[in-house]
Amino acid sequence: MQKHLNDKGKVLSAILVVAVVILLVELVMPNKNDEAASTLHKNSLETLPVSFEPMEGFEESPLRHSIILKERADKEVTRKQAVAKQNEIDQQEKSIYLTFDDGPSAVSDQLLDILDDYQMKATFFMIGPNIKEHSKSVVRMKKEGFGLGLHGITHEAGKIYSSPSAPVDEMSEDRDILENVTGVRSNLIRLPYGSIPYLTEDMRYLLDKSDFKVWDWNVDSRDWELKDRRYVQHTKQEIDRYMQAGVTPVVLLHDKPHTIEYLPELLSYIKKQGYQTKVLTNEQPPVTFQCEGRCHSIS
């Protein structure tokens, strides 16, 4: 009997050992399975083709173009409201804005002297290489409180309108040059020959993203065409016409000898009429030509 009990105890002990082994195996195996699953998940993620580049074709897609047009339309509503509000203020003050393109030049100091003599202000839209060449005149403009704007680098339509990014590239370079010379960071730009017809919606979108304000004009003095006293008479008539219509004149002039020669006659008239000349600022809503279906690529 004693031997039978001992044999039975040995059997029970063996069964107990097997049970313990099985339990340990069950405890260990799930961890291994989890590790395997984790490894599989990690490897799967590593092999997924993830890219942060724009989808091929999206830049030229109708969807992107419609998005740009929608954003531009919304901002145009806001711009027109701001322009109308600024116009009310300017009309009460009998303000006009004189703007000079293509400088600075060898005659810029003479131009500044004439403006100082008549106690009048103006905004200068300047070309980058000219700023470097006539930096002393630009520093004087800043010290005397004139407006400082940008007119690009090349002044060549075939270059500044050559691609969607070309205008913003030229204006950014011009802005850096002006800032290095004066410490002023200007967002005021005027495209060579105006923004119609070659400044496309894509170009306007990129300029807007860089905080540039596209300024055109509503009074063309035609000094670039007439080059004599006739431009003065034409400009006087246009200023009066816009003032009578309740629209603040933004006058296009050029930093050129033939303009300067007859400028005192124009400034005398402005002073006699009691008009106040002001400078453009980064905060001011711009007067800008609108595409209205007229804008197209130069190529």
Catalytic residue among 90, 101, 202, 216: 101
Is residue 296 annotated as a catalytic residue, yes or no?
no
Catalytic residue among 134, 151, 155, 254: 254
SS3 percent helix, strand, coil of the chain, rounded to 5, is: 55, 10, 35
Distance between CA 277 and CA 200 in Å, rounded?
A: 32
Is residue 202 annotated as a catalytic residue, yes or no?
no
- Where is 68: in which H helix or E strand? helix 62-93
Distance between CA 80 and CA 59 in Å, rounded?
A: 28
**Count of beta carbons in the 10 Å neighbourhood of residue 5:** 9
Cβ contact 124:150 at 8 Å? no
Cβ contact 126:155 at 8 Å? no
**Count of beta carbons in the 10 Å neighbourhood of residue 157:** 13
Q: Which residues contact 108 (CB under 8 A, 6 or more apart)?
A: 124, 134, 137, 141, 255
Distance between CA 185 and CA 180 in Å, rounded?
A: 9
**Catalytic positions, please?**
101, 254
